Structure 1
């Protein structure tokens, strides 16, 4: 009888522990600079112009066994746009582009996650420049595991392409510069 009871307790602990390991909440590690939101857009069709947002925050839920339960939420401070050129950044913050005085944040919140192995589609709503539209981010699990400080981390990279006019950015940058490619590389710390 004692053996059966101990076996049942051990099995229950193993199942409880496995359930905890499957679904977890992660905070994006922006403090350690292990997360980036970057973009690029063609300049006159001759070269690429690169930039990033320096100030953002977010969290995600990750469950390898049940991707349908996964969630992502990110908030970007739009005035943190940085293209390594002060005058251009000032122009991007103006009403012609991001209109940061009126729209100080941009947000993405997932509505569904579809995964196949390490590949995923994160479907959600992006609110940018006062407009909210559905977008799909093609994502990939980069890796996960213990960190040297006693925590557990998971990292992803994802990308999507946005049409400027879809987000009420009407400034005409020429026919080669109608779309901007957005890349998110995030590492989250399990909470």
Structure 2
């Protein structure tokens, strides 16, 4: 039996809906090896289930590929095109956790990421922001997570050289979720 050595104040088991208004999914990629381009996905939805222990928790999330936003419409169009995400064919990115684990007081969410029609295992390093009360009287949960993926592993932009856009992409999530009412 896995036990947590880290106390999570206010930990509450339940089912939580990701709040797209108060959540962010962002990415960073190097351009020409000298600068970083940052962007976000404007549409994310999903569910977090907190079990009776954190290790029995799970998460599923769906991100709309057409919602990519780098604050440059021309670049966004290129990222949505067949050169990168091919958003007309692969309309969503999905994540489904396969486990939550703790190592030295740090939490990790293992799962399967499907991007560009390719599914690969990824690990997100997670920081539990906490559990709290919304002014409306409902409960909220906050969690942040970060991972790094390979463009090539997901067959994203295979004709774009790494010297132009790096293979390594950092993905960061800042999620707020509201507890479903019983």
Shorter-chain TM-score: which interval?
0.7 to 0.9
Whether the 8 Å CA contact 1:118–1:141 is kept in 2: the answer is: no
Partner of residue 58 from structure 2, selected from 49, 68, 71: 71
Aligned to 1:183: 172
Aligned to 1:96, the other structure's residue is in SS state: coil
Aligned to 2:130: 143
Between structures 1 and 2, the one with greater helix share:
1
Instruction: Return the offset for 1:27.
Output: 0.4
Partner of residue 144 from structure 2, selected from 157, 174, 180: 157
* Structure 2 unaligned spans of 5+: 1-10
The normalised TM-score by structure 1 is 0.83
Aligned to 2:16: 26
Partner of residue 35 from structure 2, selected from 26, 30, 47: 47
Equivalent residue pairs, number: 168
Change (3 A) 1:55 1:22: closer
Q: How does 1:167-178 map to 2 (within 5 A)?
A: 167-169=154-156, 170=158, 171-174=160-163, 177-178=166-167
Aligned to 2:22, the other structure's residue is in SS state: coil
Partner of residue 84 from structure 2, selected from 69, 76, 97: 97
1:117 and 1:58 mapped to 2: Cα distance? 28
Aligned to 2:49: 61
Segment of structure 1 superposing worse, 154-163 or 140-149 = 140-149
Aligned to 1:143, the other structure's residue is in SS state: strand
Give the superposed CA RMSD: 1.7
The normalised TM-score by structure 2 is 0.87
Change (3 A) 1:22 1:149: closer
Change (3 A) 1:72 1:115: same
